[in-house]
Chain A
Amino acid sequence: LAKTTQPISMDSYEGQEVNITCSHNNIATNDYITWYQQFPSQGPRFIIQGYKTKVTNEVASLFIPADRKSSTLSLPRVSLSDTAVYYCLVGDVRASKIIFGSGTRLSIRP
């Protein structure tokens, strides 16, 4: 069972690049890595998903090293609206297990 570990909180400033790392030492062969964003009083929202190497979309990049024991969510040039909790999820594609991380509370300051 791939347990995930994330920093509890991070602070940054507008315009900076923010990197949030998630550790998942026991990740299984069939597991994908997914990141979600959650604003207060809302449900989590999908940001990005990957299996290995690097994935980039219009809002973020996801870096996964060859051993897949960790992953890093990179948010380029953050703004105040990026203040949220970010969850790392390791999902067994055989749909037998889903583990959410404890979440990282990201605070962006002007």
Chain B
Amino acid sequence: DTAVSQTPKYLVTQMGNDKSIKCEQNLGHDTMYWYKQDSKKFLKIMFSYNNKELIINETVPNRFSPKSPDKAHLNLHINSLELGDSAVYFCASSQYRAGDTQYFGPGTRLTVL
């Protein structure tokens, strides 16, 4: 069983489109995260939810909107995609809080043309 799964694995789209990436964890964790990894491999946290409540919201464009329907899911919706949004997006989860061990998903490679 996959602990943290993301769909899709690859996403190629045109500028201006709206797209979503889904994340699910079956570990029973309370906290979930979205990270962006750019071409230089810098890993930056974007959002974190704890029991469906937003607890970390870094400075990201408001075109990015996380949605947590329940504590096992944290989806990322992106409006009006731009070239600079091209990156690998990782979902992660941890049992309680940010300092706990995080379990990462396989990543979604987003390419905006």
Contacts and interface: CB of A to CB of B under 8 A. Distances in A.
Interface stretch (A19-27, A64-72, A73-81, A93-101): A93-101
B31 interface: yes
Contacts, number: 67
Q: Is chain B's interface secondary structure helix, strand, loop, or mixed overall?
A: strand
Interface bin, chain A: 20 to 34
Contacts of B106: 41-43
Contact of B103 (A41, A46, A94, A95): A46
B41 A97 contact: no
A86 to B, nearest CB: 11
Nearest to B4: A43
Contact of B97 (A31, A36, A41, A93): A93
Interface of A: 30-32, 34, 36, 41-46, 49, 85, 87, 91-98, 100, 102-103
